[in-house]
Structure 1
């Protein structure tokens, strides 16, 4: 009986962990303000590359980014996915040098570039 109860708790814990989403604590940050400021944008890029100081939200992004890339952002809330698309679109189309730096840091083998090729092509087609 004890074994059955223990196994049940483990199964419940696994199910709840699978539904876990990333924190929404930083969802009110104005992404456009960051993208429109070279100083802020460069500071975030330096944070993500591990060569600069991180704000609390930058640290959280740096922590979850590898997993989000691996899983297709499955723990992201919908507005986080939209924010990610906004940032990626901006970087690809307006700041390709920063995009290249981040790709080198987070996708040196090109595995994510291949995985998200269709989405990437859609972003490039929407170039302003």
Structure 2
């Protein structure tokens, strides 16, 4: 019985290793090409508008992902983060600043986060 409990606990830990989102393969570059779509995502992320199910699935992981430099992100998620943060910074700087202010108001985590996902 003890072996079963230990095995079950290990399985639960393994399952919790990576974040779960609504779509780990969202084409962020395509979203960035549509200002109305990126606005809806960002306004959801910064609590200015309601979230649809997909946006909410990303939003719930953001605080931990940012504060831990994406430690529990899988490679597709790291790629999405890289494209999202780069796209905001380059094409939508006002959204980038609002996003940073929401998730890293003391400027402690975001630089490490961006370095962690830079090569994805």
Q: Root-mean-square deviation (CA), in Å?
A: 2.7
SS of 1:92's equivalent in the other structure is: helix
Question: What residue ranges of structure 1 are gaps of 5+ in the alignment?
Answer: 124-128
Question: What residue ranges of structure 2 are gaps of 5+ in the alignment?
Answer: none
Residue aligning to 2:101: 104
Instruction: Identify which of 63, 75, 85 aligns with 1:66.
Output: 63
Q: Which moved more, 1:92-101 or 1:23-32?
A: 23-32
Quick check: 2:25–2:80 contact (8 Å CA) kept in 1? no
CA distance in 1 between partners of 2:63 and 2:45 (Å): 11
Larger radius of gyration, structure 1 or 2?
1
Report the CA distance shift for 1:98/1:25 in structure 2 as closer, same or farther (over 3 A). Answer: closer
Residue aligning to 2:115: 119
CA distance in 2 between partners of 1:29 and 1:118 (Å): 19
Instruction: State the aligned residue count.
Output: 116
Q: Which moved more, 1:88-97 or 1:58-67?
A: 88-97
- Which structure's relative contact order is higher, taking Cα pairs within 8 Å and 6+ residues apart? 2
Superposition pairs of residues 1-128 of structure 1, within 5 angstroms = 5=2, 9=5, 13=9, 15-19=10-14, 20=16, 21-23=18-20, 25-113=22-110, 116=112, 119=115
CA distance in 1 between partners of 2:73 and 2:97 (Å): 24
SS of 1:83's equivalent in the other structure is: helix
